[in-house]
Structure 1
């Protein structure tokens, strides 16, 4: 019987969240070879390809997207079960973030946590915004980064502009919208704008890699708060009407000192200002 290794599934989700193996490996503090090995192990267990190369980037196969959906669900249940079994006071510090948080922002969080809690390891988990909010509510995260109201103790970090992007190798079909599946704050802003401009929803995607691949292959457009740098096959579209900004927010558990929370907020705000 085939089995799904949790470590491999976590690598898979992180690759989807960061849009590539290298960025995922950096986030997980693993080598690119290790993360690629995790993907190959999943493919070997399941007996079909999950990812396919597209130039310098990768895309999920149709069955790979099915695996990714299950991976999000299984990891969520796995993490909730661990929280119930072990309680909140485990040795690791857990940072839960949306897939749109950038590497500099995550490094800023890690620097503060490492300084204030040098004897504790840091684990990163990546989920959709709705699950990030749940992690604050069920206290399964020490640090949560997401969009909008994250519940009690939410700290506003910055208002992120949404940037339209389209294919680089052709004229974009600006009436064809590619969005994430619901619930999604970015999707809501895109579709609200579309209702007033006559655009229509052409495709929904569960993760960042699928979204970027759909823009490249269909010629449609989407909008993101933080566009991956030097993403092959894509370009910014500066001539389309601007979209409302989206608030990046921070929440921390009561297990962290107030000074640590304030230091994380300051580090995130400084990181954001440095990249304006």
Structure 2
């Protein structure tokens, strides 16, 4: 039997449990999967017991592994509590994701909230499309992210709704009856793109995606060039150099959700959601639909 246990190896064991697998745990621990597997092997060698067994294509804890996991949680909790009492906690990095649509308005609020709740913590931002951000959260590469959910059926905490606004270049005129309507949109898959197509089609218009992009700036550039109209979620303010087309059919709203990685500190998750709620409560034109985390949701 070993005389000591490596704390990093114990943290790896806890991460595997919280993330539900080796791959996601490696991402959260910021190490390669072979390195993570080596942590497990070294623990098994030191304790002279098998911690995992194969269950089909997956790995699960053995009864002995569950015992070691329980002890690991107690050891790490006591260790981290001692560091906190000694004011010697390690540097903390919180990775925040946001869609381009809400980043400019929402992220400053997030910076202030996280700085107040976790003084000295480093905040890193990932800006991108909702599908990519949700996948990054699922993999553990991003702690939490604010993503768009046009269907209203997505996972995570429902924060609020964003109005969908039609934009066109100044002087743009709608096509004549019977002519094709040009649309500028995000590349598929994109729920907002589908909403734009279905909204115009419901009015009897034949629609053609004239230009598409993977980024918001690309979509806006196409609209500014007069290539067509675009449907854009609005988190406040107007897109410069473009005209709001209030004469086009109402496309409704899209939901904004906050998704958090498995195992994220409850305090971080609560501070992030509270910041999102604060952002909405200060903007009467946006609909506030959630005010707190549902415990265990």
- Given that 1:135 and 1:141 are in contact with CA atoms closer than 8 Å, whether structure 2 keeps it comes out as yes
Q: Which runs of 5+ in 1 are unaligned?
A: 1-79
Alpha carbons of 1:240 and 1:180: their partners in 2 closer, same or farther (altered >3 Å)? same
Deviates further, 208-217 or 85-94: 85-94
Aligned residues: 195
Report the counterpart of residue 143 of structure 2 in structure 1: 142
- Given that 1:96 and 1:126 are in contact with CA atoms closer than 8 Å, whether structure 2 keeps it comes out as yes
Give the alignment partner of residue 164 of structure 2, picking from 156, 162, 165.
162
Alpha carbons of 1:141 and 1:128: their partners in 2 closer, same or farther (altered >3 Å)? same
Report the counterpart of residue 112 of structure 1 in structure 2: 113
Structure 1 position 235 matched with structure 2 position 236: no
- 1: CA distance between counterparts of 2:127 and 2:277? 21
Q: How far apart are residue 136 of structure 1 and its match?
A: 1.7
Q: TM-score, normalised by structure 2?
A: 0.58
Alpha carbons of 1:212 and 1:85: their partners in 2 closer, same or farther (altered >3 Å)? same
Report the counterpart of residue 261 of structure 1 in structure 2: 269
Give the alignment partner of residue 260 of structure 2, picking from 252, 259, 262.
252
Structure 1 position 190 matched with structure 2 position 192: no
Q: How does 1:1-276 map to 2 (within 5 A)?
A: 83-85=30-32, 91-148=92-149, 151=155, 154-173=156-175, 175-196=181-202, 197-198=204-205, 199-226=207-234, 229=237, 231-275=239-283, 276=285
Q: Does the residue aligned with 2:100 lie in a helix, a strand or coil?
A: coil
- Given that 1:177 and 1:201 are in contact with CA atoms closer than 8 Å, whether structure 2 keeps it comes out as yes
Q: Which runs of 5+ in 2 are unaligned?
A: 1-26, 37-89, 286-297
Alpha carbons of 1:204 and 1:210: their partners in 2 closer, same or farther (altered >3 Å)? same
- Given that 1:99 and 1:208 are in contact with CA atoms closer than 8 Å, whether structure 2 keeps it comes out as yes
- 2: CA distance between counterparts of 1:222 and 1:125? 24
Alpha carbons of 1:176 and 1:224: their partners in 2 closer, same or farther (altered >3 Å)? same
- 1: CA distance between counterparts of 2:236 and 2:262? 33
- 1: CA distance between counterparts of 2:182 and 2:262? 44
Q: Does the residue aligned with 1:136 lie in a helix, a strand or coil?
A: helix
- 1: CA distance between counterparts of 2:118 and 2:186? 36
Larger Rg: 2
Q: Does the residue aligned with 1:242 lie in a helix, a strand or coil?
A: coil
- 2: CA distance between counterparts of 1:224 and 1:168? 16
- 1: CA distance between counterparts of 2:236 and 2:230? 13
Q: How far apart are residue 90 of structure 1 and its match?
A: 8.3
